[in-house]
Structure 1
Amino acid sequence: MTLGELTLFLLIGFAGFQFWRIRSISEAAFEHARLYCDTHHLQLLTLARRSTRLTFKYAKPDWHSRFEFEFSGNGEDRYTGEMEMVGKRVLRTQLPPYRV
């Protein structure tokens, strides 16, 4: 095995690890949005990641992700909320005014 092959295998392994890391962040975001909606008596409709970038917040490199989720307060209307995370830590959750 040459140094080039070893480097290639390490890069492929690192890319795979980051893929699974981003997937686990998305699953944590879904769980947080679901619990947030349950706590506030809302119906969670959809969740989508808007952006992901590398950040060095909290003294270590991690992914800074922004999510949008749609929810309903009365079962008829649809509103869009935003959630911001670093790693699996939620920084903020913001919702517009909605009808109950």
Structure 2
Amino acid sequence: MPFCHFSRVYKGTSWADLKANEQLQLSRKCKKMEYAELISILVDQEEFDLICNDVSSARSCYQKYTHQSIATLDGKWKCIIIKNQHSKQKIILYTAGRLYPLYAAVSE
């Protein structure tokens, strides 16, 4: 199972915000959280940039999976992974069954 540092998503949260929060968590020696991969979606650079500019906005590329992004019986979050098809960058989203992301993380 993969691990990462998640951050609460607020209106207008961007890739840079998530990256800054990750650095803050690392400096405070916060533990990474284990999660389960619900679905992995490959998107082009343009779509990835749109998502990165405002993670809080619901996007059609993952909308049909949001209701399944909930915790497992053992407490692991089932996350939607958005991958950039031109790099190793990805955004990990947890919606808690809502239409928009509640928590998110980044990976490069």
When the two structures are superposed, what TM-score results if normalisation uses the length of structure 1?
0.30
- Larger RCO, structures 1/2 (Cα 8 Å, 6+ apart): 2
When the two structures are superposed, what TM-score results if normalisation uses the length of structure 2?
0.28
Structure with bigger gyration radius: 1
Bigger share in helix: 1
